[in-house]
Amino acid sequence: MYEQTNAWVLPDGKYGAFEINETDVSIITYRAALNHAYQKLSLSPEKPTDLLELSGHDPFRSPLAFNEIIYSLPMLTILTDKDERVLPFEVIPIINIPEFGDKSAEKVCVDLRIRSQNDKEKLAEVKKLTNLKGFTDGAMLVGGFKGTKVQEAKPLIRNKLLVTGDAVMYSEPKRKSCLDQCACSRSFGLGTHLPWDEQFLVESLSDSTLYMAFYTIAHILQGDDMSTKSDIPVLLLNKMKQEFNYWYPFDLHVSGKDLIQNHLTFCIYNLTALLPEHHLPRGFRCNGHLTLNSEKISKSTGNFRTIRQAMEEFSSNATRFSLADAGDGMDDANFVLKQQMLQY
């Protein structure tokens, strides 16, 4: 990982040096190595090759790091009789945040008077604040991207590491075994009736992944107003079918990152079960959330702006440009009112 200054390890944990390919070796657990092997990130397919067994006590270094040793830092899982293995450590400035300086975590911990790792709520606040401010306002202090904004440097660093072979795309596969027992229907509420039993409705989450298909025929079925007729002529049904076949499959469905584990997962499962292959979705794109002045948008705290308010304050074009410039991808975008006032 770029910018990694230390490693968190379980002192008594069992680790190993596993062959990834002909030239690279990763220090990971056997479970992680097994997951690598099933993703073609192992010298032997589906069978990890362990060259050396290690424990959390063993010091190690990275060939890409300028520090001779990658330091291990104390965690709540480290026992008091093992503290001699925790090596001394000095914070290495990597990112400058105007509000917090070069050592943001250290400053915020001091400001919040955090005494130990038992201050879990305050530490969570530190992590959230420094991560957000670091991404939206921070600038790189070291490396080939020195002086570049963090949000601009992040994709560049990622691409560089992948191109040079110093990083691999890795995601840990997880079984969705709970989906086998998920109910497919409900007995009350609004929604679509099951075709084979009118007394039940399609389970709400499943129903919500199919309603987009109705968009393709709604204007034909209802016109400008709700239809008062229940009988649909054959010619109209054929036209509806023609419209659906024209618009489906959808090329891209855009949704928030918080819906990956529910709505989008169900969408893939349900459409695969109900539609033929040529009607299956071609792509999904997830985006982060929008923050205002580096804080979560919330009506309860008063930290929010409606689109209408933003357009009245800055004009529609300025609002569009600012939203486009606020951020992209899975990271949260940040709309800064003070910055807009200065610019527009």
The model's confidence at residue 79, banded by pLDDT at 50, 70 and 90, is: very low
Quick check: 1 pLDDT over 60?
A: no
pLDDT in tens, 287-324: 888 888 888 888 778 888 888 988 888 888 888 888 88
pLDDT in tens, 10-42: 767 788 888 888 888 888 888 888 888 887 788
pLDDT (0 to 100) of residue 98: 92
Q: At what angle do helices 104-111 and 120-137 cross, to 10 degrees?
A: 140
Quick check: 178 pLDDT over 70?
A: no
Which helix (H) or strand (E) segment holds residue 140: the answer is: strand 139-140
Which helix (H) or strand (E) segment holds residue 333: the answer is: strand 333-335
Q: How far apart are CA 139 and CA 153, in angstroms?
A: 9
Query: Which whole number is the average pLDDT over 203-223?
Result: 76
